[in-house]
């Protein structure tokens, strides 16, 4: 079985052989330095990657506080995995893979307990964009509609689209992070965009 | 939007520059003649612009401090268990050494020819114990074994005893 549990035991993660030279990834080199005992390298990784991680997780689990806990959990796992780490994929791909698994588990658990609070929008309430009042209101309205539409997407579609559009991962990296084929990524992203467009039309974009 | 049967599912990959080398030029050639693909492409492109302009959800100010505290707690759990474990092991080992020292003392008093050799061996073991374990192991004239808890009390938990 090519795919299975990843080596952190966090679930689906296909290490694959796609990355030609992962050691060319500066973050993978930092992780190797950390494995060799350089703690500052880990701190650099943490500072560099937690902002995109929190952004991704907050839109996945739709709760900023929970997203922060999960982001911390991701880095605890990375910390604990240091001795087993091998640069088989880009660091960010590996990190988002762990994050995705944790997010899915968290959503499953919340759904089983029927405690998904959500739609209060608190976690995604937007800062003042700094434009004039009318433009400001328009921009906020567009953002809020989009956030609402995003929340309604199936989880895997949402993950694939966010990783592509907001975090800039390539389809091959998304495939590794989500543990699916490239063809599935293509389809997930296509359906995500079509689904979002439709939801936006429904709420009168 | 009726959609395009031939290319409809490829629009997203095209927009992302992820169509394979053979398909890219074909889609380029198809695009000017297909209204559905043109519309889908524009809709998806506009959607992407909106998605990218969503405000980033930043970690809260206490996020980083919380993480290092959590990591320190996670790290702290292991050595604490290790400490108790090794503390008990030490007691067992010290008792074992004490028995050895007692045997040596007995052999010395019996003027056993093996005594000198055994003394050297035990002294070597003793040194290893004393250096490696960082607590004092005292042997008085009555061959009583004493060891100091001061080192244990002053121990900062940074490594296993
Ligand atoms: Zn077409």
pLDDT at B160 over 90: no
Per the domain annotation, does B62 fall within a domain? no
Predicted local confidence at residue B145, as pLDDT: 34
Between these two residues, B87 and A156, which has the higher pLDDT value? A156
**How many angstroms separate the CA of residue A128 from the nearest CA in chain B?**
10
Please report which confidence band the pLDDT of residue B144 belongs to, taking 50, 70 and 90 as the band edges. very low
Within a domain: B71: no
> Kind of pairing, strands B137-139 and B145-147?
antiparallel
Nearest CA in chain B to A62: B57
Judge residue B65's burial from the number of C-beta atoms within 10 Å of its C-beta, 0-12 exposed, 13-18 middle, 19 or more buried: exposed
- Whether residues B104 and B148 share a domain: the answer is yes
Q: Is residue B60 part of a domain?
A: no
CATH architecture of A17-122: Orthogonal Bundle (1.10)
If pLDDT is split at 50, 70 and 90, which confidence band does B117 have?
very low
B21 lies within 8 A of chain A by CB: no
Domain for residue B130, yes or no?
Answer: yes
Task: Provide the shortest C-alpha distance from residue B49 to chain A (in Å).
Answer: 9
Is it the case that residue B129 has pLDDT exceeding 90? no
User: Given CB atoms, is B59 within the 8 Å cutoff of chain A?
Assistant: yes
Chain A residue numbers with beta carbons less than 8 Å from the beta carbon of B52 are 165-166
Confirm if A95 and A137 have CB atoms less than 8 A apart: no
End-to-end CA distance of chain B: 72
Which pLDDT score, from 0 to 100, does residue B138 have?
32
Supply φ then ψ for residue B36, to 5 degrees. Answer: -60, -45
Size of the A and B interface in Cβ pairs below 8 Å: 93
Q: Which is higher by pLDDT, B20 or A36?
A: A36
Per-residue pLDDT at B10 exceeds 80 = yes
pLDDT higher than 50, residue B127: no
pLDDT given for residue A56 in this prediction: 98
What 8-state DSSP symbol labels residue B3? -
The answer to whether B54 touches A147, Cβ cutoff 8 Å, is yes
pLDDT of amino acid A190: 94
pLDDT in tens, chain A (205 residues): 333 333 333 333 333 344 456 668 999 999 999 999 999 999 999 999 999 999 999 999 999 999 999 999 999 999 999 999 988 889 999 999 999 999 999 999 888 877 555 444 444 444 444 556 777 788 788 889 999 999 999 999 999 999 999 999 999 999 999 999 999 999 999 999 999 999 998 877 5
Q: How many angstroms does the Cα of residue A4 sit away from the middle of ligand 1?
A: 37
B45 in reach of chain A (CB within 8 A)? no
Q: What is the pLDDT of residue A61?
A: 95
Q: Is residue B87's pLDDT more than 80?
A: no
pLDDT of B81 over the 80 cut: no
- Indicate whether B109 belongs to any domain: yes
Considering chain B, what is the average pLDDT of its residues? 67
CB of B66 within 8 Å of any CB in chain A? yes
Domain boundaries, chain A: 17-122, 132-205
**Which carries the bigger pLDDT value, residue B111 or residue A48?**
A48
Give the C-alpha separation, A57 to A65, whole Å: 10
What pLDDT does A132 receive?
Answer: 66
A132-205 classified as CATH 1.10.10.10:
yes
pLDDT band at B95 (very low <50, low <70, confident <90, very high): low
Residue B27: how many CA atoms within 13 Å on its side-chain side?
Answer: 24
pLDDT the model gives residue A156: 96
Closest alpha carbon to A167 in B14, B54, B41, B20: B54
Same domain flag for B143 and B100 = yes
Residues of A engaging B, defined by a Cβ cutoff of 8 Å: 46-47, 50-51, 54-55, 58-59, 64, 67-68, 71-72, 75-76, 79-80, 123-124, 126-127, 129, 139, 142-143, 146-147, 161, 164-166, 170-171, 186-187, 189-190, 193-194, 196-197, 200
Question: Which residue of A lies nearest to B13 if distances are taken between CA atoms?
Answer: A186
| Contact residues on chain B for A166, CB-CB shorter than 8 A | 51-52, 54
In chain B, how many domains are there? 2
Q: Which chain A residue has its CA at the smallest distance from B71's CA?
A: A76
Asked if B88 and B149 sit in the same domain, the reply is yes
**pLDDT greater than 70 at residue B104:** no
Poorest-pLDDT segment among A95-104, A171-180, B54-63, B102-111: B102-111
Confidence (pLDDT) at B103? 65
Task: Identify which of A159, A179, A199 has the alpha carbon closest to the alpha carbon of residue A57.
Answer: A159
Expressed as residue numbers, the domain containing B22 is 8-52
Contact A190/B12, CB-based, under 8 Å? yes
pTM flag (> 0.90) = no
pLDDT category of residue B22 using cuts at 50, 70 and 90: confident
- Quote the pLDDT of residue A135: 75
Interchain pair B50, A142: CB under 8 A: yes
Q: Which of A47, A68, A197 sits opposite B43 (nearest CB)?
A: A197
* pLDDT of the residue at B123: 40
Does residue B144 lie in a domain region?
Answer: yes
Which of A67, A143, A200 has its CB closest to that of B54?
Answer: A143
Give a yes or no: residue B79 inside a domain: no
User: If phi over 0 gives left and psi between -120 and 50 gives alpha, with beta otherwise, what is residue B157?
Assistant: left
What's the CA gap between A22 and A2, in Å, rounded?
19
Q: What does the pLDDT read at residue A29?
A: 94
Task: Report the complex ipTM.
Answer: 0.79
Mutate to test the interface with A, among B27, B55, B76 (most CBs of A within 10 A): B55
- Please answer whether residues A114 and A124 qualify as being in contact, where contact means their C-beta atoms are separated by less than 8 angstroms: no
Chain centroid offset of residue A160 CA = 8
Put simply, the answer to whether A75 touches B67 (Cβ < 8 Å) is yes
Q: For residues B45 and B88, state if they share a domain.
A: no
Token pair listed for A32: 């190797």
pLDDT of residue B42: 94
B41 and B92, same domain (yes or no): no
């Amino acid at each position: 079985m090519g795919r299975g549990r990843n080596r952190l035991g966090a679930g689906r993660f296909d290490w694959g052989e796609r990355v030609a030279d992962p050691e060319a990834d500066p973050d993978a080199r930092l992780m190797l330095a950390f494995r060799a005992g350089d703690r500052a390298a880990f701190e650099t990784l943490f500072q560099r990657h937690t902002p995109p991680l929190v952004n991704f997780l907050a839109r996945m689990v739709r709760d900023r506080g929970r997203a922060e806990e999960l982001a911390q959990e991701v880095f605890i796992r990375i910390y604990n995995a240091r001795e087993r780490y091998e640069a088989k994929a880009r660091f960010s791909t590996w990190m988002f893979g762990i994050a995705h698994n944790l997010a899915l588990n968290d959503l499953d658990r919340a759904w089983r307990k029927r405690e998904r609070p959500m739609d209060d929008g608190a976690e995604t309430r937007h800062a003042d964009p700094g434009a004039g009042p009318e433009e400001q209101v328009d921009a906020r309205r567009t953002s809020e509609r989009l956030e609402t539409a995003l929340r309604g997407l199936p989880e895997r579609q949402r993950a694939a689209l966010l990783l592509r559009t907001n975090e800039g991962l390539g389809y091959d990296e998304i495939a590794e992070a989500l543990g699916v084929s490239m063809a599935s990524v293509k389809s997930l992203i296509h359906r995500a965009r079509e689904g979002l467009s439709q939801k936006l039309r429904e709420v009168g974009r | 939007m009726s959609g395009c049967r031939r290319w409809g599912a490829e629009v997203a990959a095209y927009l992302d520059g992820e169509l394979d080398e053979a398909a890219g030029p074909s889609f380029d050639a198809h695009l000017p003649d297909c209204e559905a693909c043109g519309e889908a492409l524009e809709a998806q492109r506009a959607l992407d612009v909106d998605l990218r302009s969503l405000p980033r959800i930043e970690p809260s100010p206490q996020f980083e401090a919380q993480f290092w505290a959590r990591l320190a707690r996670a790290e702290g759990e292991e050595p604490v268990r290790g400490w108790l474990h090794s503390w008990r092991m030490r007691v067992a080992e010290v008792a074992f050494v004490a028995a050895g020292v007692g045997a040596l003392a007995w052999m010395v008093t019996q003027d056993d020819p093996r005594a000198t050799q055994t003394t050297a061996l035990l002294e070597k073991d003793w040194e290893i114990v004393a250096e490696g374990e960082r607590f004092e192991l005292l042997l008085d004239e009555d061959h009583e074994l004493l060891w100091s808890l001061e080192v244990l009390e002053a121990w900062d938990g940074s490594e296993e005893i």
